[in-house]
Amino acid sequence: MTFTLLFSPALFIFFLVIVLASIGKSLGIRRLYVSVLIKVFEFGQGRIDHYEKNKSSAEEYDSESSNGPTENGNRLIERDIAISATEGISLPSNRPEYSLSLKKEFHISDNMYFAKCGMEAICEDEVTQRFTAEELRSWNLLTRTDRGYHFISMRLTILWCLGCIVRYCVLLPFRFVLCCIGLSFLISSTAFIGYLPDSSYKKGLNEYVTLVSHRILARACSAIVTYHNRENMAKGGICVANHTSPIDVIILSCDNCYAMVGQSHGGLLGVLQRAMSRATAHIWFERSEMKDRILVTQRLKEHVENKDKLPILIFPEGTCINNTSVMMFKKGGFEVGSTIYPVAVKYDSRFGDPFWNSSEMGMVWHIFEIMTSWALVAEVWYLPPMRKIEDEDAVQFANRVKKEIAKKGGLVELEWDGQLKRMRAKECWKSKSQADYSNLLKID
């Protein structure tokens, strides 16, 4: 009897979620849930601020309340010298004695200034901090982002414990079941569609099934997505977006149906890639093989030239960045010469960390962290389509698109290659800065 009383409401909720996902509607419960969370965070931050104000030492306050290096918060270090992959060393205007246009006699003391700048760059560079979790201005009551704040008052401790119970004992089981339903529906339905002959009916059915599957998966993350300027949504050609997590695919595919291009994966991602490929054309490649890059470019051209195929979704950074920046776009997708539909995606990290550091955690653990967070709140901006202008090469076109995405999403635009997460800096990047430094020390 007790089991029936518990099982029936749960079954009704799952059925309701699936029905709403199939028609693309929402009751607004998730948005109400997020608004309640914001009030809880404000209360928690108020308790923390009260605790900090009661500290006897101003130095202790500065130390405890510091949020670390971030573009949105206080920087630990204000560096004198900026180093660029293409431009080399950029010197401050208040140090005219080291101007590249003004040579002077070398003094041994010159080494000390540049040694200081080198240590500043090592302590806080522009690249490695993009591959760590985004720092928050205030604590969001998540265990993995705490600073011991849940021990400062009894009320905050109780609130933190209740949050753990809700996230792990209520939300996680519900989200896990919903995720299994979404994945099972996606895999089984694409397997069935794969046996159908090519026709407009097959294409329409695939688009509907894909939208429903991703909407169910989005609800498994308690995703709340706001889409802006939907009149600019891609109907064909190539759609490019900044990349924070594989969840980006779910976020974007709740509103439009895409063909995918990306690296071949094993494990859970590999299963999904093979399932999706049964129903429509996708392009998967091995990043390590140079011949694949040529083949991928050719397949991209063939795909975009076929007006019957879906718009193809590309993440030109080639790796995940931590929701603060946009790094170098690879030129491959911009060599095709097709219309580019830029999309900017920005997550609200107060409700959970969306960044996937693939060098340190697997896909399953990343999904677990997402599903044990409060919610996944994101904003998506569809930018006007962009085309290559006269005398513009693929690299310049990619940089122009990247700049527009960074501007719209409120992200920091960086020229560095995101693959620095996995490899050492190229010698050509080092040689430019070394040559600039050598020129500074020459006697005119």
List strand residue ranges (DSSP E) for 168-321, in order.
223-228, 238-241, 259-263, 283-285, 312-314
Range of the domain at 232: 170-413
The stretches of 223-289 forming alpha helices (DSSP H) are 247-253, 267-279
Tokens (6 digits) for 136: 């928050």
- Total-model pTM: 0.81
pLDDT at 389: 87
The torsion region of residue 68 among left (phi > 0), alpha (psi -120 to 50) and beta comes to left
Tokens (6 digits) for 442: 């020459």
Q: Which helix (H) or strand (E) holds 193?
A: helix 172-194
Tokens (6 digits) for 139: 């604590």
Q: Are 333 and 259 in contact (CB under 8 A)?
A: no
DSSP summary character for residue 349: G
Residue among 177, 258, 174 nearest 214 (CA): 258
Q: Are 248 and 269 in contact (CB under 8 A)?
A: no
| Residue 307 located in a structural domain | yes
Residue position matching structure tokens 């006699």? 105
Beta-ladder partners of 346: 379
Cα–Cα dist 123/59, whole Å: 21
Find the largest Cα–Cα distance for the chain.
93
pLDDT at 377: 94
| Residue 253 located in a structural domain | yes
Half-sphere exposure (Cβ direction) of 183: Cα atoms closer than 13 Å: 16
pLDDT at 7: 64
Tokens (6 digits) for 9: 């409401």
| Residue 159 located in a structural domain | no
Q: Are 185 and 216 in contact (CB under 8 A)?
A: yes
Check which CATH number belongs to the domain holding 407 and give it: 3.40.1130
| Residue 398 located in a structural domain | yes
Cα–Cα dist 126/83, whole Å: 9
User: Residue 435: what are its φ and ψ, rounded to 5°?
Assistant: -65, -40
| Residue 435 located in a structural domain | no
| Residue 146 located in a structural domain | no
User: Residue 377: what are its φ and ψ, rounded to 5°?
Assistant: -110, 125
Domain total of the chain = 1
pLDDT at 80: 64
User: Residue 378: what are its φ and ψ, rounded to 5°?
Assistant: -145, 155
| Residue 423 located in a structural domain | no
pLDDT at 146: 55
pLDDT at 344: 96
| Residue 235 located in a structural domain | yes
The stretches of 314-424 forming alpha helices (DSSP H) are 363-371, 394-409
Cα–Cα dist 384/231, whole Å: 9
Cα–Cα dist 302/312, whole Å: 11
Q: What is the pLDDT along the chain (444 residues), one digit of tens a residue?
A: 555 655 677 777 777 878 888 788 888 888 899 999 998 888 888 877 777 777 644 444 344 444 434 444 444 455 666 666 666 666 665 555 555 545 556 666 767 777 777 777 777 777 777 888 777 777 788 866 555 565 677 888 888 889 889 999 999 999 999 999 998 998 888 888 888 888 888 888 988 999 999 999 999 999 999 999 999 999 888 999 999 998 999 999 999 999 888 777 777 777 888 888 888 888 887 765 556 677 777 888 888 888 888 899 999 988 889 898 999 898 888 888 778 999 999 999 889 889 998 878 888 899 999 999 999 999 999 999 999 888 888 888 999 999 999 999 999 888 888 777 777 777 766 777 777 777 766 555
N-to-C CA span, the chain: 93
Tokens (6 digits) for 414: 């960086």
Three-class DSSP category at 280: coil
Cα–Cα dist 243/344, whole Å: 9
- Alpha-carbon torsion (166, 170, 176, 181), positive or negative: negative
DSSP summary character for residue 44: H
